[in-house]
Structure 1
Amino acid sequence: MQTAGNRLERRKARTRQALVDAAREMIADGRSSTASIADITAAADVGFGSFYNHFEDKPALFAAAVEQVLEQMGDTLDGVSPRSDDPVQIFCDAVRRTGRAAVSHRQAAEIVDRSGFALLDAPGGLGPRARRDLAAAVDAGRLEIEDLSLATAMTAGVLFALVHRWLEDPGSVDDRRIDDAAERLLVMLGTDPDTARAVAHTDLEMPQIS
């Protein structure tokens, strides 16, 4: 049985999501720095006063929009069962899948490109997942990394470069280029070239990302 409280909660959730959706579009379009709260609520088709029922200010809204994009992508990629116990293979597969996902969804790509290395400071999303996978490879003795933060930043740098290049010229980045980049990243992180080549060019299952 539906109650008034349930209907209210669903309405509040729809309003919040409408604001987040509007923020995602504005970040992707490069309008986040100039948009007013009135602009945001108009784009979301909600009342001006509704904004402060959900967010303290614009930075809070845009942070929530970025976090949602990254968490949706990360959760989907995490849902793929590992095909190997090798943590280097698991890390490499994640890099390759993330690259493929990012260059097939323009809004997500624009948000990643505009946010840049600030994403590494986010509590959720892709940065912590990369650090987790790298730490597992170190713990298993498969990689020797003194500074996990630097290695995570190197991983992000490779992905940011692929995304930026794809936005400039979509035809310049395909699966082969992504796999080549993953191979070179593994070498930079200390994997021997033959292993890096073998790991980065295997068949890869891709989940459906909405």
Structure 2
Amino acid sequence: MSMAEEIETKFAVEAFEPVREALVRAGAERLSRRFEENVVLDTPDGDLRHRDVLLRLRRDASARVTLKLPAPAPEGQGLKVRQEIETEVADPDALQAVFFHLGYRPFLRYEKVRETWRLGRTLVCLDQLPFGLYLEIEGPADAIPGVAARLGLAMDAALADTYHALYRRHLAACHLPPADSFVFDADTRLALLADLSAS
């Protein structure tokens, strides 16, 4: 089990290749590239959402349960700070059944392909989502602006929003009705999984 303060920021990007090239030039180490399935749980009346608490089951190469709690944000633009408790789970279906009987139901589902790099004291994640490409930098608050600059990103473009909030903003910009879950269509999902298994 890990319990830590999570400090991160996001940037919308047009393409990953220039970022990968910048990461290589900076001496970053590529750690993994994985398909993620996430289920966010809540009570029917949204008790956790109202308290800014996130309860999530994630499956990629393994399965983990994560609880994210509010934390005071440091000074600095575009940073999101949460207290995070996370542990691996042997049987996520059984744990989801436990949560169900405690009153927690799936509130939203989302998928992404996450490519993770280590650069200095930070993790840099290249996230392909059904509605766009994003880069996430996680690490100490004083390290994030320098890493962003090395990757050609300006902190005044940093986003402190969750992917759920960014998705709803995307839908509004496209004049589409609000929705919570964002998953790849079946053909895209199969193509991504085939690409990942081949790499």
TM-score over 0.5 (shorter chain): no
Whichever structure has more helix as a proportion of its residues is: 1
Give the TM-score, by structure 1 length. 0.22
Give the TM-score, by structure 2 length. 0.22
Whichever structure has more strand as a proportion of its residues is: 2
